[in-house]
Structure 1
Amino acid sequence: MLARDTAEAIVGAVTRSGTLLLGRYSPSGRLRLVARTTPCASPPIGTAESR
């Protein structure tokens, strides 16, 4: 049986290369970077590159 641990995160930014920067709020209320993705295969929707 596999164990799975989940948590909610906020998308803090989407870079020009399509990388998502994910954050979570610390107990003191600051948004902290916790993860980032690899660049997306296509430009994010709504960017100049996707038009």
Structure 2
Amino acid sequence: MNRIDLAGQVAVITGGAQGFGLATARRLVASGAKVSLWDRDPGASS
């Protein structure tokens, strides 16, 4: 897996409670970014 250093970067993910959004958020966090997750379904992240 390629790693990109995203330390100090901020990402906003919409639709981040599940699926591609959640997978993308996890990858960004693993690369050092701070991530803000947003989803229109408040129960989806539980």
TM bin, normalised by shorter chain, reads: under 0.3
Structure number with the bigger relative contact order (C-alpha 8 A, sep ≥ 6) is 2
More strand by share: 1
TM-score where L is the length of structure 1: 0.24
TM-score where L is the length of structure 2: 0.25
Larger Rg: 1
